[in-house]
Amino acid sequence: MSVSAPVKLTIKDYKSELHNDWCPGCGDFGILTGIQMALAQLQLDPDKVAMFSGIGCSGKTPHYINAYGFHTLHGRVLPVATGGRLANTALTVIALGGDGDGYGIGAGYFVNTGRRNLDFTYLVHNNNVYGLTKGQASPTLSKGKRTKSMPEQAIQDGINPIAMAVAAGYTFIARAYALDPKHCAQIIARAIQHKGSALVDVLQTCPTYNDLYTKEWYEGADLPEKKSRLYKLEERGYDGKVQDPSDPEEIVAKKAAAVARSYEREPIPIGVYYEALLPTYEDEIYKRIPSLKDTPLVEMDTFHRDVTPLLEAMR
Amino acid sequence: MIGGPQGSGINASAEVFAKACSRAGLRVYANIEYHSNIMGKHSFYRVRVGDEDVRSYRDNTDILVALDHETLAGDGDHRRWATHFGHLHQLNEGGGVIYDSEIDFDPSQSGRPELRFYPVPFMEIIKKALEEVGKGEQARRYEVMKNTVGLGASLALCDYPFDLVGEVIRGQFKGKRSEVGELNVRAARLAFDHVRDNFDADGFPYTLKPGPEPKARILAKGYEIAAIAKLKAGCALQTYYPISPATDESVFLEKHQREYGLLVVQCEDEISSINMAVGASHMGVRASTATSGPGFALMVEGIGFASITEAPGPVLVLYQRGGPSTGLPTRQEQGDLLFALHPAQGDFPHIVTAPGDLRETYQDIFSAFNWAERYQLPVIVLSDKKLAAIYTTIDKLELKYDQIDRGALFTGSEWTSVDAKGPNDGHAANGNGHGNGELKEYLRYALTKDGISPRSRPGIQGGRFWSTTDEHDPDGHITEGVEMRVAMMRKRMGKLALVAKAIPQDQQFTLHGAADAELTIVAWGSTKGTVLDSIKVLEAEGKKINFLQCRLMRPFPAQAVGDILRNAKRVVCIEENYSGQLATHIAAETGFLIKDRINKFDGRPFSEDEMIAAIRGALAGKTEAVVTNVR
C-alpha cells in the first residue's frame, strides 16, 4: 500500500476503502473531496500525513482518507493534534472538526491554539447544527433562528469564528464553501502550505437538519435575481496578506479589515481573510532546543541521557 | 523547626541546614507545611536528623526558630477561627526557642516558661553584616536574611561546626549572586557568634555532631526524583497546567529542557495537557504529564481515550492533595486512590501504581514508560504532596533501572499475513471484508494471540492506520458489531493479566517484617516510611508487627494480598483519607474485608508519634480517626 514519492499521486490515492455513512447530499462530502484534492495537488505522501478529528459527523472524515488518521474526543482535537505535531514536525498535520466541536466545547483550545501559532491546519465543518445528535443549535447559529429540528428558536447568539480567530492569533484565516470543492481545495492547499496555524471555516449544508442554510439558500435560489449569497474575496480585490510582517501597523490594519469583512452578511465573503508569516511555535522551540530543527522529537535519542550532573548537584 | 510568614525564606534556611547535615554524613528527613498563599501566611519546615535512616517526622522538636509572633503563639489573635496555636507546645522538654527580639513576646507568659529562650536581634545582626561590607544603611532591603540569622543561631545552639554550613550557603548563591552568598555567610556567622557569646549554649541538652561516615548522600525532593526518572526513561514531552503540588516537577524539567532535549509545554488546562500527551504518544514519543486532584478530574476523558485507542502512554504522575474539589491545595491526603482506579466511563485497562518513597518513585516512574509502551495503555503513578515535597537523604538511587523496553513495534518489513490474524480474525469478525487470511497490509489493532498488536506511528512507510475513540475493528475503523466488540474488549482487558504477570513481585507489594506477627498493618504510598519508623520503635518494646505495603494498585495482586491477609492474626489498614480507600479496594479485589481502619484526613501526614499511638491503639483493639494535635 505504501506509495513511493516519484509516482504522481491522484485523488484516488487519498481515498480509503471504507464505506461512507454520511447522509446523501451532506456537505461533508464536499469537504472530504476538497481535502483529498488538496493533498493530491500538494503531492503529499499519505504516510507523511496525520489527520486528527473531533467527534460528530465530521469526526469520521479521517476514516475516509488514506493517511494516518486519529478520530479523537469531542472538542479536544486541537490539543491532540498539537501533541502529534510537536512529536513529529516532519509530518503534515491536519486537524478538523465540527462547529460545535471547535467553537463550543472546544472553544478554549480554539483560542489557545491560535496563541501558539503551531504550523498546522485546522478545518471546521460549519453547518450551524449538531448533526449527529439530531440537529440542535450549534455555536454559529444566530439568535432567533430555528431549524426544523429545533423545538424553540436559538436563545443565544452565534459567534463569529473569523473574528475570534483574528483575536486568538491564527496567522492564516479563511472561509470556504463545502459545495464548491474546487475552491475549497485551493483554500485548504494554501492553508496546508502556510507556515503557522491556519484556520479554514468551511460553510457546510446539513440537508437532514438545517433547513435554513441549504444549498438553495447559499445559491440564492429564493432571491429575485437568483444571485449567490457568497462571494469570493479575491475576486473583489481584497488581499488579506500582510506584506511586511515586521510592521505592526500593517498587521493591525489587515486584522481590522478581516474582522470588518467577517461581519458582512449576504453576501458572505469566502476566501482568505488574513494571512501573515510570523514566527511559529516551532521556531520558538528551535531557539531553545536547536537540535529539534533537523531532528524531530520522535527521531531524537532520548534514551541515553546522563543524569549524574543532576544527582551530583544534590549532594 | 523554623517557622515564619511565607516569603520569609524559611525554606532556604531549613534546606541549607538539611544539606549541611547530609554532607556531614547524617541522614535527614525534612518536610514543609505551607498555606495556599504567596506571601504572609504561616509556614513551617521541620528538619529531622539522625545517624540512622529517618523516614518520618516527629511531633516535637528540640529547636524552634521563630521569625514572627505567629510561629510562637498562633493566629488566634487575628482570626475568628484559629488555624493553629503556634509551635511552643511542640518543643521537647528543655528545648530552645530562638526568636527575633523585636517580636513582642514574653516567655514568662508563653505557657512554657521552662523552655530555654534565646531572643536574638535579627535586624541588628543583618545591619552588622552589611556594615562589614560598607552597606550598613541598606539593612531593610536585606530583611529577608533573617532566615539566615535564624540558621546561624540554631547551629550555635546545637554546637554544630559552622564551616560545614558556610560552604552550603555559598553553594546556594552561585555566579552573579555570590556576593549575596558571602553576605549570608557573614550574617549566619555573626548570629552564630552572638548566641555563643551571649548565652550559655554549652548547657543546651541537644547537640548535633557530624556523622560517623562523612560521605555525601543524595539529598533530594520527591518531585526532583520523579523528574529525573522521566529524563532517564527517555520522556520526550512533558505537558502540564500549573497546580499545587504538582507544578514543581514540570518546572524542574523545564529548567533542564535545553540540556536534555525534553520538550515541556505549559497548556491552557489539564484537558489539553493529557490530550497533547496522548497525541504525542500515538506519534511515537514517550510523553507524560503531572497534575493534582482537581487537574486529574479534568483529565479523565483523556485516560479513557488513551486506553481504548491503545496509545503507548502517557505516564501521568498524580500528586494527591487534600480534597474534595479545591480542598486543601497545599496539604496532604491519600484521597484519590479509588478515583485513579476508576477515572472514566466504561471498562478499560490502565496501570496504577503507588510508590512509597523516593527510591520507589524513581523505579515506578521509570518502569511506567516501559509498561505504557509494551502494553499500550496509560499509566498513573500516584504520588502526593508529602512525597513531592519531602527533602530527604537517599543512600543510592538505583540507576540500574535503565533498561528501555519499547514493546512490539511494526517496522515495515517483517509483517506477514499470518501475524495479522488473530484468534477472532475470521471473515465475519471483520466488518470491512478483510480477515480472510489473505491479509497483506498492516493492521494496527490486529487481534493477536496475546492481545498486543505491534504498533506503528505516523511517518512509517506501510504502517498506516486509523484510530478512534469509538469501538473499532483491526483497521481502527468504527464498528458496532457484536463479535468485534467482544473481541476488542477481551483484547484490551486481557492486557491486564499480562501486566500482572510481568511486573516483578517486589514492585507489586512488600511484606515488611516477619510472617508471624500479632498485628499486620496494611498501608500504601507515602506513609511507608512512617509505618517503618514506628514499627522499629514498637519492635524494640517487643511487639511483633509486620507491614503489608501495597504498591501496584491495578492490576492488583489480589491472590497474594488476600493470602497474606487471610493468614494474618489481626489486620489494621492505616490511610491518610476519610474512608479507607485501600481497604475498600482490597475488599473488592480479594473479598477480604478489613474492618479495623485508622484514618487521618486533617490534611497533615502522620507523624511517627501519631502512627505509634495509632498502632498501640490497634494492638489494644481500639481504632479511631487520628487528628493532628494542633493545640
Q: At B538, which CATH number?
A: 3.40.50.920
**Mean per-residue pLDDT of chain A:** 96
Q: Please indicate, yes or no, whether residues B146 and B227 belong to a single structural domain of this protein.
A: no
Among candidates A16, A81, A112 on the partner chain, residue whose Cβ is nearest the Cβ of B279: A81
Task: Pull the grid cell for residue B356.
Answer: 512509597
Q: Name the nearest CA neighbour of B552 among B269, B351, B312.
A: B351
CB-CB contact of B302 with B329 (8 Å): no
Cα–chain-centroid distance for residue B121? 38
Kindly report the length of chain A. Answer: 315
pLDDT of the residue at B398? 63
Among candidates B256, B258, B278 on the partner chain, residue whose Cβ is nearest the Cβ of A83: B278
Looking at the predicted structure, is the pLDDT value of residue B431 above 80? no
Give CA–CA dist A170/A167, Å, rounded. 8
Q: Please indicate, yes or no, whether residues B138 and B224 belong to a single structural domain of this protein.
A: no
pLDDT digits (tens, 9 = 90+) for B125-178: 999 999 999 998 888 899 999 999 999 999 999 999 998 899 899 988 888 889
Contacts of B159 (CB under 8 A, 6+ apart): B201, B202, B204, B207, B208, B209
Residue type, A194: H
Give how far B533 is from chain A: nearest CA, Å: 24
Query: What angle, 0 to 180 degrees and rounded to 10, lies between the N-to-C axes of helices A27-41 and A181-193?
Result: 50
Q: Would you say residue B628 lies in a domain?
A: no
Ramachandran angles phi, psi of B80, nearest 5°: -65, -45
Q: Do A50 and B460 touch (CB under 8 A)?
A: no
pLDDT of the residue at A98? 97
Q: Would you say residue B527 lies in a domain?
A: yes
Q: Do B466 and A298 touch (CB under 8 A)?
A: no
Give how far A88 is from chain B: nearest CA, Å: 7
pLDDT of the residue at B201? 79
A-proximal residues of B, 439-468, CB under 8 Å: 441, 457-468
**Mean per-residue pLDDT of chain B:** 92
pLDDT of the residue at B145? 94
A-proximal residues of B, 114-143, CB under 8 Å: none
Give CA–CA dist B530/B575, Å, rounded. 11
Q: Do A80 and B285 touch (CB under 8 A)?
A: no
Chain B residues touching residue A292 (CB < 8 angstroms)? 261, 263
Q: Would you say residue B626 lies in a domain?
A: no
Q: What is the CA radius of gyration of chain B?
A: 27
A69: closest chain B residue by CA: B466
Give CA–CA dist B423/A300, Å, rounded. 37
Chain A residues touching residue B273 (CB < 8 angstroms)? 79
Pairing state between β B287-292 and B263-266: unpaired
Cα–chain-centroid distance for residue B193? 38
Q: Which residues of B129-160 are buried (b: 16+ CB within 10 A; e: fewer)?
A: bbeeeeeeeebeebeebbbbbbbbbbbbbbeb
Q: Please indicate, yes or no, whether residues B208 and B236 belong to a single structural domain of this protein.
A: no
Q: Do B236 and A83 touch (CB under 8 A)?
A: no
Chain B residues touching residue A76 (CB < 8 angstroms)? 271-272, 275, 301-302, 305
Q: Please indicate, yes or no, whether residues B258 and B120 belong to a single structural domain of this protein.
A: no
Of B216, B234, B267, the position where a domain reaches its end is B216
pLDDT of the residue at B625? 80
Q: Do A46 and B464 touch (CB under 8 A)?
A: yes
Contacts of B18 (CB under 8 A, 6+ apart): B28, B30, B47, B49, B219, B391
Task: Pull the grid cell for residue B513.
Answer: 517484617
CB-CB contact of A233 with A269 (8 Å): yes
pLDDT of the residue at B174? 86
Sorting pLDDT into bands at 50, 70 and 90, what band is B414? very low
Chain B residues touching residue A55 (CB < 8 angstroms)? 469
Around Cβ B543, how many Cβ atoms within 10 Å?
A: 15
CATH code of the domain in which B191 resides = 3.40.920.10
Task: Pull the grid cell for residue B402.
Answer: 535503565
CB-CB contact of B45 with B14 (8 Å): yes
Q: Do A311 and B263 touch (CB under 8 A)?
A: no
Residue B9 is part of which domain span? 2-216
Q: Please indicate, yes or no, whether residues B212 and B224 belong to a single structural domain of this protein.
A: no
Ramachandran angles phi, psi of B504, nearest 5°: -60, 145
Q: Where are the beta strands (DSSP E) in B293-443?
A: 315-320, 351-353, 379-384, 391-394
Query: What angle, 0 to 180 degrees and rounded to 10, lies between the N-to-C axes of helices B358-375 and B482-502?
Result: 150
pLDDT of the residue at B427? 39
pLDDT of the residue at B437? 45
Q: Please indicate, yes or no, whether residues B33 and B157 belong to a single structural domain of this protein.
A: yes
Q: How many helices (H) and strands (E) does chain A have?
A: 10, 10
Q: Please indicate, yes or no, whether residues B293 and B372 belong to a single structural domain of this protein.
A: yes
Number of domains in chain B: 3
Among candidates A48, A79, A292 on the partner chain, residue whose Cβ is nearest the Cβ of B275: A79
Task: Pull the grid cell for residue A307.
Answer: 543524569
Q: Please indicate, yes or no, whether residues B290 and B339 belong to a single structural domain of this protein.
A: yes
- Alpha carbons within 13 A on the beta-carbon side of A302: 31
Cα–chain-centroid distance for residue B324? 19
Among candidates B235, B278, B469 on the partner chain, residue whose Cβ is nearest the Cβ of A71: B469
Q: Please indicate, yes or no, whether residues B62 and B30 belong to a single structural domain of this protein.
A: yes
Q: Name the nearest CA neighbour of A206 among A108, A140, A109.
A: A140
Q: Please indicate, yes or no, whether residues B382 and B233 belong to a single structural domain of this protein.
A: yes
Task: Pull the grid cell for residue B618.
Answer: 490497634
Around Cβ B333, how many Cβ atoms within 10 Å?
A: 26
Q: What is the 3-state secondary structure (H, E, C) of B159-191?
A: CCCHHHHHHHHHHHCCHHHHHHHHHHHHHHHHH
| Interface confidence: ipTM more than 0.95 | yes
Strand partners, A130: A136
Q: Name the nearest CA neighbour of A258 among A279, A244, A275.
A: A275
Q: Do A315 and B23 touch (CB under 8 A)?
A: yes
What is the mean predicted confidence (pLDDT) over B203-222? 84
Give CA–CA dist A113/B558, Å, rounded. 45
What is the mean predicted confidence (pLDDT) over B508-520? 95
Q: Please indicate, yes or no, whether residues B210 and B250 belong to a single structural domain of this protein.
A: no
Looking at the predicted structure, is the pLDDT value of residue B588 above 80? yes
Of B394, B417, B434, the position where a domain reaches its end is B394
pLDDT digits (tens, 9 = 90+) for B72-90: 999 999 999 999 999 999 9
CA dihedral in degrees (B548, B552, B557, B563; nearest 10)?
0
Q: Do A108 and B268 touch (CB under 8 A)?
A: yes
Residue type, B113: P
CATH code of the domain in which B338 resides = 3.40.50.970
pLDDT digits (tens, 9 = 90+) for B39-67: 999 999 999 999 999 999 999 999 999 99
Cα–chain-centroid distance for residue A9? 23
Q: Do B466 and A69 touch (CB under 8 A)?
A: yes
Looking at the predicted structure, is the pLDDT value of residue B94 above 70? yes
Among candidates A70, A79, A88 on the partner chain, residue whose Cβ is nearest the Cβ of B284: A88
pLDDT digits (tens, 9 = 90+) for B317-329: 999 999 999 999 9
B260 in contact with chain A, both atoms CB, cutoff 8 A: yes
Task: Pull the grid cell for residue B354.
Answer: 503507588
* Predicted structure pTM score: 0.96
Give how far A79 is from chain B: nearest CA, Å: 5
Kindly report the length of chain B. Answer: 631
Give CA–CA dist B567/B562, Å, rounded. 9
Task: DSSP letter for A22, please.
Answer: S
User: How many CB pairs lie under 8 A apart between chains A and B?
Assistant: 195
Q: Do B279 and A17 touch (CB under 8 A)?
A: no
Q: Which residues of B567-599 are buried (b: 16+ CB within 10 A; e: fewer)?
A: ebeebbbbbbbeebbbbbbbeebbebebebbbb
Of B148, B182, B216, the position where a domain reaches its end is B216
Pairing state between β A172-177 and A198-203: parallel
Chain B residues touching residue A291 (CB < 8 angstroms)? 261
Name residue, grid cell 474485608: B593
B411 in contact with chain A, both atoms CB, cutoff 8 A: no
pLDDT digits (tens, 9 = 90+) for B381-412: 999 999 999 999 997 766 666 799 999 998 76
Q: Would you say residue B328 lies in a domain?
A: yes
Domain definitions of chain A by residue range: 11-312
For chain A, which ranges sit under pLDDT 70? 1-6
Q: Which CATH architecture has domain A11-312?
A: 3-Layer(aba) Sandwich (3.40)
Q: Please indicate, yes or no, whether residues B387 and B253 belong to a single structural domain of this protein.
A: yes
Give how far A227 is from chain B: nearest CA, Å: 41
Q: Do B458 and A47 touch (CB under 8 A)?
A: yes
Burial class (CB in 10 A: 0-12, 13-18, 19+), A138: buried
pLDDT of the residue at B231? 97
Q: In sequence order, which ranges of B466-575 are alpha helices (DSSP H)?
A: 482-502, 528-540, 558-567
pLDDT of the residue at B615? 96
Name residue, grid cell 447559529: A141
Looking at the predicted structure, is the pLDDT value of residue B291 above 80? yes
Strand partners, B547: B512, B521
Chain A residues touching residue B464 (CB < 8 angstroms)? 1-2, 46-47, 66-68
Among candidates B235, B276, B459 on the partner chain, residue whose Cβ is nearest the Cβ of A79: B276
Burial class (CB in 10 A: 0-12, 13-18, 19+), B325: exposed
Task: DSSP letter for A176, please.
Answer: E
Q: Do B283 and A87 touch (CB under 8 A)?
A: yes
Give CA–CA dist B275/B422, Å, rounded. 30
Q: Name the nearest CA neighbour of A122 among A177, A74, A170, A180.
A: A170
Give CA–CA dist B151/B160, Å, rounded. 11
Q: Would you say residue B453 lies in a domain?
A: no
B215: closest chain A residue by CA: A315
Give CA–CA dist A245/A25, Å, rounded. 42
